[in-house]
């Protein structure tokens, strides 16, 4: 079949899976008890039946289930997610406002936890049975098992409330909303795109607010990567090619990271792909604890306020990201391990 045929086959498979996700998403919200109209009737105190009928017509809730499904599929495929009940703005605009904050928090913590967990996992496997191995496994199991909301509240109590070292909320100094953001290092247009390079003051202010929630997420996530890396490395280090590499006189670091880790990395790729796929969902609990203005905090508020268009759009986007991330992981398998053939 070859790589091209494999990619075409996977794209067709991804489309079928995406249609299944869209259908399931529609069924979940169609079968949920209650309706958006009930919330608006209580909050806006609708005075007449005519107002209720107007809302039903505007949202298309008075149409047949089949007609609503076809419109829903069309809207999802064209990224027409409607308007948010909170703020009455397009859902795409609401997502774009918070996307950068979520990518900053989730991207930095995921990459840092992946690098930290893999390196420590390799060292732990190399020193199996030693003090470092036992200590790293104990610490990683502890941080991986603790609830993130508890870790977040402890971090806030120690570093923000008692010591006053770090801020406990927001993604940047609140004073910037009133006095303006610091001047950028460079601002201009390249090929029609507006490019802004933030200055040291902007980077420092954002990093100052980012550190505490990023630390909590990193401590929570790195343990899973460490344990997985250690397990796969322990199996790889018993293979004959490792003995051959050592017999050739290669440095132990080369044996561990170039030979053993490369062959033990396939489960790590799968785990990392899933985590990156769920990145846009944000860290709902952590963002809520730290009042971080990202997608996770917005999702939580949307669930509480029954913001149906926002929740439907987020579920769809998360599923789409996971599907794409798994497709990329499958392609990386063949790049890392030449024994895997596409066909």
User: Angle, to 10 degrees, between the axis of helix 308-336 and the axis of helix 266-277?
Assistant: 160
- Residue 143 domain-assigned? yes
The CATH number of whichever domain residue 278 belongs to comes to 1.10.3720.10
Structure letter (DSSP) for residue 185: S
The answer to whether position 20 is within a domain reads no
Nearest to 300 by CA among 311, 309, 290, 313: 311
Residue 170 lies in a domain: yes
Q: Is residue 257 part of a domain?
A: yes
* φ, ψ at 162 (rounded to 5°): -80, -50
Q: Which domain holds residue 278?
A: 91-336
Whether 164 is covered by a domain: the verdict is yes
Greatest pairwise CA separation for the chain in angstroms: 86
- According to DSSP, residue 280 is labeled G
pLDDT of residue 34: 62
Distance CA 299, CA 84 (A): 12
Q: What was the pLDDT predicted at 60?
A: 65
Is 22 within the bounds of a domain? Answer: no
| Residue 186 parent element (H or E) | strand 186-190
Instruction: Tell me if residue 245 falls in helix, strand or coil.
Output: helix
φ, ψ for residue 135 (rounded to 5)? -65, -45
Q: Is 105 exposed, middle or buried (0-12, 13-18, 19+ CB in 10 A)?
A: buried
Distance CA 121, CA 130 (A): 13
Is 50 among the domain residues? no
The backbone region for 170, taken as left when phi is positive above 0, alpha when psi lies in -120 to 50, beta otherwise, is left
The number of residues making up the chain comes to 343
pLDDT at residue 243 in the model: 87
For the chain of 343 residues, list the mean pLDDT of each consecutive stretch of 10: 78 92 88 65 55 66 79 89 82 89 91 94 92 93 90 93 90 83 79 78 91 93 93 89 87 88 86 82 83 90 84 89 87 74 63
pLDDT of the residue at 282: 62
User: How many structural domains compose the chain?
Assistant: 1
In this prediction the pTM is 0.85
pLDDT (0 to 100) of residue 30:
78
Q: 292: helix, coil or strand?
A: coil
């Amino acid at each position: 079949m070859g790589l091209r045929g494999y990619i075409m086959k996977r794209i067709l498979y991804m489309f079928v899976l995406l249609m299944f996700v869209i259908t399931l998403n529609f069924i979940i919200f169609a079968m949920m008890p209650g309706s958006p109209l009930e919330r608006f009737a209580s909050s806006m105190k609708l005075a007449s039946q005519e107002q209720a009928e107007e809302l039903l017509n505007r949202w298309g809730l008075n149409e047949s289930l089949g007609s609503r499904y076809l419109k829903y599929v069309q809207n999802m495929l064209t990224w027409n997610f409607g308007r948010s009940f909170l703020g009455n703005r397009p859902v795409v605009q609401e997502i774009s406002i918070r996307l950068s904050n979520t990518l900053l928090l989730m991207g930095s913590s995921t990459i840092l936890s992946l690098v930290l967990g893999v390196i420590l996992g390799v060292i732990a496997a190399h020193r199996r049975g030693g003090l470092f191995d036992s200590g790293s496994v104990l610490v990683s199991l502890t941080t991986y098992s603790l609830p993130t909301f508890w870790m977040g509240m402890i971090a806030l109590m120690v570093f923000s409330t008692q010591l006053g070292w770090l801020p406990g909320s927001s993604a940047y100094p609140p004073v910037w909303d009133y006095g303006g953001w610091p001047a950028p290092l460079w601002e201009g247009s390249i090929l029609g795109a507006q490019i802004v390079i933030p200055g040291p003051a902007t980077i420092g202010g954002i990093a100052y607010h980012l550190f505490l929630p990023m630390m909590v997420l990193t401590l929570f996530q790195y343990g899973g990567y460490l344990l997985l890396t250690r397990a796969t490395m322990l199996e790889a280090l018993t293979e004959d090619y490792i003995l051959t590499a050592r017999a050739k006189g290669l440095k132990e670091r080369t044996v561990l990271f170039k030979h053993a880790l490369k062959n033990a990395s396939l489960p790590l790729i799968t785990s990392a792909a899933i985590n990156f796929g769920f990145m846009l969902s944000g860290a709902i609990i952590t963002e809520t604890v730290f009042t971080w203005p990202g997608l996770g905090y917005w999702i939580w508020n949307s669930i509480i306020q029954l913001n149906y268009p926002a929740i439907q759009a987020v579920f769809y986007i998360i599923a789409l990201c996971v599907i794409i991330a798994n497709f990329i992981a499958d392609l990386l398998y063949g790049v890392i391990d030449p024994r895997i053939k596409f066909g």
